[in-house]
A and B are shown apart, each in its own frame.
Chain A
Amino acid sequence: DIVMTQSPDSLAVSLGERATINCKSSQSVLYNSNNKNYLAWYQQKPGQPPRLLLYWASSRESGVPDRISGSGSGTDFTLTISSLQADDVAVYYCQQYYRTPLTFGGGTKVEIK
């Protein structure tokens, strides 16, 4: 199975500042034949189901604000919130879909400092 490891477990950022979340896979999730990274990011707020933010590592889902972006390739990925807003307080998860079983990172909780 591909193990997804997120860091940090939690972080507190001031409003308007940058938040950075890391996700590392135990093996590459880059599919060479199409040069795509099989990685997605989700946001989950308390009492709600997860919401898709990014897929193919950096493609933004419709309706996701452009302050949220994704980068990385192979085994190392980053989700960045360029200017943290109160609405961004949530737990963020990465997920690989390179192969089954599909696996998630352990989550990163983002709070306001």
Chain B
Amino acid sequence: EVQLVESGGGLVQPGRSLRLSCAASGFSFDDYAMHWVRQIPGKGLEWVSGVSWNNNSVAYADSVKGRFAISRDNAKSSLYLQMNNLRVEDTAFYYCAKGVTQYQLLYFDYWGQGSLVTVSS
């Protein structure tokens, strides 16, 4: 059974940093691209970032480019999102999502339960 478990969320002040983690199990982690998707409570979905199986190809939403960095550790079956210079508008649930190919960033067939990040002074 595919499982994606996010951790690392919480309350943080504007301008500070936070690192999210996603522990994956139930599939061959290094066979798939991985993504982060966020959702402001009660609002729609926003793709944040995606990474190919080997970290060689990454992409970001314009809203986080230059502030967030995605990475993965295949040996640990883990995905990360380093979030720097956080803004109030980054407040959201952050979902880890599994891609469907190694390289291409396409759609998402499994999602974690989400981790809430609240940016507030």
Chain A: residues with CB nearer than 8 A to chain B? 1, 38, 40, 42, 44, 49-52, 55, 61, 93, 95, 97, 100-107
Contact = CB atoms under 8 A, between A and B. Distances in A.
B95 A93 contact: no
A79 to B, nearest CB: 14
B107 A95 contact: yes
B73 interface: no
B111 A50 contact: yes
Contact of B46 (A55, A100, A104): A104
Interface of B: 35, 37, 44-47, 50, 59-62, 95, 100, 105-114
B114 A101 contact: no
Contacts of B35: 102
Contacts, number: 56
Given A55-B107, A61-B109, A50 B45 contact: yes
Contacts of B60: 101
A107 B40 CA distance: 13
16 contacts: A1-B62, A38-B106, A40-B107, A42-B108, A49-B111, A49-B113, A50-B37, A50-B108, A51-B111, A52-B109, A101-B60, A101-B62, A102-B35, A102-B50, A103-B47, A107-B45
A100 B105 contact: yes
Classify the interface of chain A: helix, strand, loop or mixed. Answer: loop
Contact of B105 (A40, A42, A44, A97): A97
A97 B107 contact: yes
A3 to B, nearest CB: 13
Contacts of B113: 49
B62 A102 contact: no
B62 to A, nearest CB: 7
Nearest to A51: B111
A101 to B, nearest CB: 5
